[in-house]
A and B are shown apart, each in its own frame.
Chain A
Amino acid sequence: DVVLTQTPPTLSATIGQSVSISCRSSQSLLHSNGNTYLNWLLQRPGQPPQLLIYLVSRLESGVPNRFSGSGSGTDFTLKISGVEAEDLGVYYCVQSTHAPYTFGAGTKLELK
């Protein structure tokens, strides 16, 4: 199975601060069809996960553009440019290039 290593496990930020989360894969997530199926999810307390970013860098409809994704192959990053209070929760990377699909262990974003 593909192992996704997410760092850091916890992130403390002030409102307005920019932060990044890393997701590294044990093997390339480039599919034979040319797509890289790496998504980023946010789970706020008491809510189901919400899709933020798909295909590495595409912003899901309705998601603020302070969220951005980048990377390729085995190394990916989610950046929040100016944290807002509503961004608190647990962030997950998830890959659906190789079955079984797998998740990172999560990064908890807290207010400092």
Chain B
Amino acid sequence: EIQLQESGPGLVKPSQSLSLTCSVTGYTITSGYDWSWIRKFPGNKMEWMGYISYSGSTNYNPSLKSRISITRDTSKNQFFLQLNSVTTEDTATYYCARWNYWGQGVMVTVSS
């Protein structure tokens, strides 16, 4: 069974970096598919942030400009999100996903 699990701090200070890990079990991330980070803001709004493909290429939402980086550690079957210079507007629940498989999500609050 394929499972994804996010981990990382639930509280980040403004201007700092948000770093999250997605650990994947049951499927090797280099075997196929794009592996995305998606966030849900308070309310219902959902935003696709970007993905890293099975080959290691990345595609980011231009709305995040140069603040975002998605990388991976193939030896650990994990991929990572780094979002720099966060503001309170980055407060959201963050999901890693492969469209048909999603992590449980991690709520991140940006506050001093």
Contact = CB atoms under 8 A, between A and B. Distances in A.
A and B found bound together: yes
Contacts of A105: 44-45
Interface residues of A, number: 20
B102 A100 contact: no
Interface residues of B, number: 20
A92 B99 contact: no
B6 to A, nearest CB: 10
B104 interface: yes
B102 to A, nearest CB: 4
B63 interface: yes
B63 A100 contact: yes
A34 to B, nearest CB: 19
Contacts of B59: 99
Interface string A45-87: 0001111001000001000000000000000000000000000
Contact of B99 (A39, A43, A100, A108): A39
A103 B48 contact: yes
A94 interface: yes
Given A48-B95, A48-B105, A49-B95, A103 B47 contact: yes
Nearest to B101: A51
Contact of B104 (A39, A48, A108): A48
A50 B4 CA distance: 13
Given A100-B61, A100-B63, A49 B102 contact: yes
B100 interface: yes
B46 interface: yes
A97 interface: no
B50 to A, nearest CB: 8
B103 interface: yes
Contact of B102 (A50, A99, A101): A50
A90 interface: yes
B42 interface: no
Contact of A92 (B46, B100, B103, B104): B46
A5 interface: no
Interface of B: 36, 40, 44-48, 59-63, 95, 97, 99-100, 102-105
